[in-house]
Amino acid sequence: MTDLLDVHTHTIASVHAYSTLREMITAAKEKGLKLIGISDHAPSMPGAFHEFYFCNFKVIRRDAYGIDLIMGVELNIIDFAGSTDLRQEFLDRMDYAIASLHDPCIRPGTREQNTAALIGAMKNPKVKIIGHPDNPKYPVDFDALAQAAKENHVLLECNNSSYMPGGSRQGSRELAGELLAACKKHGTMVIMGSDAHIDLDVGNHACAQELIKKYQFPEELVINNRPELLKEWIAQ
C-alpha cells in the first residue's frame, strides 16, 4: 500500500523524545512522505511542556518546509467521560488532536469505562484520531468504538509502535485483528501512525502494514495514501 503520511510523531517537546521539529520534518521528506503531523504530549504527561507550548503554533509556517506540515497534540484522556488536558482555546488554534489513554494519566477502568472514555473524547470536535485503541491495558468494546468513530468522523489508529517487538504496549498485536474486524464491519477509516519519538522512526508503519495485510483489511479504509483526504478530514 502506498503510504504518504504520518501524523503521530513526537519531538523533544515531549521530553522523552529526541529530535527537533526540523529533524522530524527532514526525515519525513527523506522517506518520501507528502504530509507530516507533529503531535507532542499534552501537559498531564510527566515532563511534558507547559500549555503555552501549544498556544503559539502560528509562528510555525506550514508552507515553509517543502512538505505539508500540520501541528497538533496527543491529548491525555483524564477521566471516563473522555475529558482531556488542554484548554479548548488552545486546541481551537491548532490543526488537529489525537486523544489517547496513557497509564501515567489515567488508571485503567472496566471495559465499559475505557470505551466510554474514548467515545467521550471523540465528542470534542478537534479530536480527529483515537491513538492506540488496542492497548490491552485498557480493554475496550471494539464494536462500539468503531461505530462511534464512524458516527463522530474520527479515525482509529493502527499504532506501529504498539505492534513492534519490545514496544511499550505489548499484546496490542494480538488485539489488532479485533480492532480491524470492527472497523471493517462499520466502514470505519483507520490511520497508521508511527508514534515516532525520534527521527529514525518517522513514517515507520511496517508492523501496522503487516497486520493490515494479514487481516485483509480493505485498503480504501486506510487513509495513509490520501494526504488530501486527511487535510479535508481534519478541516471538517
Residue 10 CB, nearest approach to Zn ion (Å): 6
Q: C-alpha grid cell for residue 178?
A: 479485533
Taking CB atoms within 8 Å and a gap of at least 24, the contacts of 103-110 are 103/137, 104/44, 104/45, 104/46, 105/44, 105/45, 105/76, 105/77, 105/78, 106/76, 106/77, 106/78, 106/79, 108/137, 108/138, 108/139, 109/80, 109/138, 110/139
User: Phi-psi category of 166—alpha, beta or left, where left has phi over 0 and alpha has psi -120 to 50?
Assistant: left
Residue 43 CB, nearest approach to Zn ion (Å): 14
Given the complex with Zn ion, which of 82 and 131 has the nearer CB atom?
A: 131
Nearest one of 92, 96, 93, 79 to 40, comparing CA atoms: 96
Residue 63 CB, nearest approach to Zn ion (Å): 25
Phi and psi at 56, nearest 5°, equal -125, 25
Tell the residue number behind the cell numbers 496513557, with chain if given: 102
Please tell me the distance from the alpha carbon of residue 14 to that of residue 11, in angstroms, as a whole number: 6
Residues that bind Zn ion (CB under 5 A): 74, 100, 131, 195
Given the complex with Zn ion, which of 68 and 195 has the nearer CB atom?
A: 195
Given the complex with Zn ion, which of 126 and 186 has the nearer CB atom?
A: 126
Beta bridge partners of 100: 76
Given the complex with Zn ion, which of 74 and 85 has the nearer CB atom?
A: 74
Given the complex with Zn ion, which of 134 and 195 has the nearer CB atom?
A: 195
Nearest one of 129, 142, 141 to 193, comparing CA atoms: 129
Identify whether the C-beta of residue 90 lies closer than 8 Å to the C-beta of residue 55. Answer: yes
Residue 42 CB, nearest approach to Zn ion (Å): 10
Given the complex with Zn ion, which of 109 and 184 has the nearer CB atom?
A: 109
Which residue of the chain is nearest Zn ion when measured via CB?
100
Residue 135 CB, nearest approach to Zn ion (Å): 9
Residue 22 CB, nearest approach to Zn ion (Å): 19
Residue 74 CB, nearest approach to Zn ion (Å): 5
Identify whether the C-beta of residue 116 lies closer than 8 Å to the C-beta of residue 82. Answer: yes
Given the complex with Zn ion, which of 133 and 227 has the nearer CB atom?
A: 133
